[in-house]
Amino acid sequence: DAELADLGTDESSEEAEYDNDPQPVVAVVGRPNVGKSTLVNRIIGRREAVVEDVPGVTRDRVTYDATWRGRRFTVVDTGGWDPDATGMALKIAEQAQIAAELADVILFVTDAIVGVTDADEIVGHVLRGSGKPVILAANKVDNQQMELEATGLWSLGLGEPQPVSALHGRSSGDLLDVILDKLPETPKQRFGAERGPRRVALVGKPNVGKSSLLNKLAGQERVLVDPMAGTTRDPVDELIELGGKPWRFVDTAGIRRRDRELQGADFYASVRTRAALERSEIAVVLIDASEVLTEQDLRIISLVIESGRCMVVAFNKWDLLDADRRYYLEKEIDRQLVRVPWALRANISAKTGWHVDRLVPALETALKSWSSRVPTARLNAFLTDLVAATPPPVRGGKQPKILFATQASTEPPKFVLFTSGFLEETYRRFIERRIREEFGFAGSPIEVTMKIRE
């Protein structure tokens, strides 16, 4: 019976030799007692492995080597915790976060008999924001009749639940096939390996100085030949070395080509802007500082906000400003850019090159903020103090409580507050502001949403 096969013992596992190639990592998460250890043991094929019948016995994060159909991968059991601890939700969120960070694929184990619990929902929430492939295992489906129970797990919003019985091995081969399917060809480079050049979108209304800036940046420094340029599609990227590092300026063909203004410049600009933002991590929004801020400038800024990218606003043509204009510009900025007080600002002249070198530190700061993560414990300690000092306004005679909070994702940073009731928008914004004050995030948008627990 193939389904009952002990999975880790397919022949190739015996021959698998140690080598230095990084292996893809599958992290196993789930609340205590759903059968994680049993499933891990089945995956790695270790019969003698101990399964604690005492729920929630704390163990360290352990990694095992596994092989299935000749493919090797590493399984990380993210461990257990003390389920009686009051900080249960916190621990769960942390565990899921750690898993999401270190894994190529996440195996989220749930108990089909018990169904979806609050803890499962929290994990689901964190995992959905992780950007990693998630496989939802519905464990303890020991027989055909139990399959129906597994369908309830669809509500986690993680796609199709994979029914499995870790204990008896039922459908565990199918589960491993699904895992194999999601393993990346080249596993994520770990241990501080370099990521590719950061991707920058240079956006702004026509004639604001985009191509001048691009030329200045490219002219001042070495232009690197992009092996991909021209070979794929129209939006050609340029790799430009700035501050000793290559940066990828995306969709520069649209900036270089001058024919665009002939046909509906405004429309073209917004289509191009969207496309460039889509492919970028950070936007440099150019604004003509010598002229009054226009609707189009604000529309472009809105597009950047919508995209969730981090942002540097570069006020260009600074060489044309006199004291008068400078004064009015400050007023306009205060009035018009209230939505993005977090955006980093640089005053430059693309024409003369004045202060163009200040763009790189701004880009680096913004990107760092965009990718940063507040540890769950720190976030919750901070919020506990904050709420104690300034409790949320009472609504309908009830005092809503923040049960706990977690940063569900980075790039952009998104925070989720699990609350016992509705928080006024002003209070939510207050928290958002205080999170910024406490943890920084200069140059990056952040999102704070709430989820009401019944």
- Which residues carry a binding-site annotation for GTP? 30-37, 77-81, 139-142, 204-211, 251-255, 316-319
Neighbours of 124 (CB within 10 A): 21
- Joined tokens for residue 438: 């406490």
Nearer to ligand GDP, 125 or 317 (CB): 317
SS (H, E, C) the chain: CHHHCCHHHCCHHHHCCCCCCCCCEEEEECCCCCCHHHHHHHHHCCCCCCCCCCCCCCCCCEEEEEEECCEEEEEEECCCCCCCCCCHHHHHHHHHHHHHHHCCEEEEEEECCCCCCHHHHHHHHHHHCCCCCEEEEEECCCCHHHHHHHHHHHHHCCCCCEECCCCCCCCHHHHHHHHHHHCCCCCCCCCCCCCCCEEEEEECCCCCCHHHHHHHHHHHCCEECCCCCCCCCCCCCEEEEECCEEEEECCHHHHHCCHHHHCCHHHHHHHHHHHHHHHCCEEEEEEECCCCCCHHHHHHHHHHHHHCCEEEEEEECHHHCCHHHHHHHHHHHHHHCCCCCCCEEEECCCCCCCCHHHHHHHHHHHHHHHHCCCCHHHHHHHHHHHHHHCCCCCECCECCCEEEEEEEECCCCEEEEEECCCCCHHHHHHHHHHHHHHHCCCCCCCEEEEEECC
Shortest CA distance to 287 belongs to which of 347, 327, 357?
347
Cα dist from 233 to 230, 260, 411, whole Å: 6, 17, 26
d(CA 120, CA 32): 11
Q: How far is the CB of 169 from ligand GDP (least distance, A)?
A: 9
Across-strand partners of 135? 107
Nearer to ligand GDP, 349 or 407 (CB): 349
Nearer to ligand GDP, 359 or 448 (CB): 359
Q: How far is the CB of 286 from ligand GDP (least distance, A)?
A: 6
Nearer to ligand GDP, 351 or 453 (CB): 351
- Joined tokens for residue 119: 């803890």
Q: How far is the CB of 228 from ligand GDP (least distance, A)?
A: 23
CA 266 to chain centre: 31
Nearer to ligand GDP, 113 or 387 (CB): 113
Nearer to ligand GDP, 354 or 430 (CB): 354
Q: How far is the CB of 353 from ligand GDP (least distance, A)?
A: 9
Binding residues: 30-37, 77-81, 139-142, 204-211, 251-255, 316-319
CA 396 to chain centre: 36
Q: Residue 5 contacts by C-beta under 8 Å, 6 or more apart in sequence?
A: 169, 173
Q: How far is the CB of 275 from ligand GDP (least distance, A)?
A: 16
Q: How far is the CB of 105 from ligand GDP (least distance, A)?
A: 18
Q: How far is the CB of 168 from ligand GDP (least distance, A)?
A: 6
d(CA 40, CA 181): 18
Q: How far is the CB of 414 from ligand GDP (least distance, A)?
A: 28
Q: How far is the CB of 242 from ligand GDP (least distance, A)?
A: 18
Q: How far is the CB of 213 from ligand GDP (least distance, A)?
A: 7
Nearer to ligand GDP, 35 or 129 (CB): 35
Site of interaction with ligand GDP (CB under 6 A): 30, 32-38, 51-53, 80, 139-140, 142, 165-167, 204, 206-212, 255, 316-317, 319-320, 349-351
Nearer to ligand GDP, 204 or 445 (CB): 204
Nearer to ligand GDP, 37 or 444 (CB): 37
Nearer to ligand GDP, 129 or 204 (CB): 204
